[in-house]
Amino acid sequence: MTVHPFIEAEKRDGHNVKRACELLQVSRTAFYARRTGRQADDRA
């Protein structure tokens, strides 16, 4: 299961992406890379 759609929804609602990534143990680099279609190492 990927958490990126959840983080995207939180971002749309004006919530803090950094905090959401920390809580879900996902690197912000991986989150933003996925949004732009690039690959990133998701091991944070």
pLDDT in tens, 8-42: 999 999 999 999 999 999 999 999 998 887 665 55
Distance CA 39, CA 16 (A): 22
What is the DSSP secondary structure assignment for residue 31, as one 8-state letter? Answer: H
In the DSSP assignment, the letter for residue 26 is -
pLDDT grade, residue 2 (50/70/90)? Answer: confident
Q: Quote the tokens at residue 26.
A: 């996902």
CA dihedral of 26, 29, 32, 38, whole degrees rounded to 10: -110
pTM (whole model) above 0.85:
no
42 close to 34: Cβ distance less than 8 angstroms: no
